[in-house]
């Protein structure tokens, strides 16, 4: 039981580390992350939470290490998510401005076609 639970938490930690790396991207160029990847991260967090509930494997050093790593990953995720949210809001504003520009250009083209 303990090794299966430890392995499950280890796999969740690997997924969280990979997700954090994608979210952080490079310093000069933040990476893009698909909505499905956010869903996958959430699923990993929920799976690890299920793994942690009702388990007290303090005698297993691997379990203790993975539990500490999981906590660090969640803390890092909490630090990264506000900047990701800011990037998403900036992208939303950019897309809305582009949509408004396209709508104005379409209205101009339609008016122009009527006058010819």
pLDDT digits (tens, 9 = 90+) for 66-97: 989 999 999 999 998 898 888 889 989 999 99
Is 45 within 8 Å of 73 (Cβ atoms)? no
How crowded is the C-beta side of 14, counted as CA atoms within 13 Å?
A: 6
Distance CA 29, CA 34 (A): 16
Stretches where the chain sits below pLDDT 50 are 1
In whole angstroms, give the CA distance from residue 33 to residue 6: 28
> Quick one: pLDDT at residue 29?
65
Task: Say what the pLDDT of residue 109 is.
Answer: 93
DSSP conformational letter for 54 = T
Which structure tokens are listed for 38?
């956010």
Q: Are 74 and 80 in contact (CB under 8 A)?
A: no
Mean pLDDT (the chain, rounded): 85
């Amino acid at each position: 039981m303990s090794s299966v639970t430890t392995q499950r938490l280890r796999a969740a930690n690997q997924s969280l580390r990979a997700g954090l790396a994608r979210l952080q991207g490079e310093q000069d160029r933040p990476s893009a992350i698909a909505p499905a990847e956010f869903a996958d991260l959430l699923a990993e967090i929920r799976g690890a939470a299920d793994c942690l509930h009702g388990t007290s494997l303090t005698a297993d050093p691997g379990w203790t290490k993975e539990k500490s790593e999981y906590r660090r990953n969640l803390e890092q995720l909490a630090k990264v998510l506000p900047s990701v949210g800011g990037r998403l809001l900036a992208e939303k504003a950019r897309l809305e401005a582009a949509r408004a520009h396209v709508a104005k250009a379409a209205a101009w083209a339609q008016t122009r076609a009527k006058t010819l």
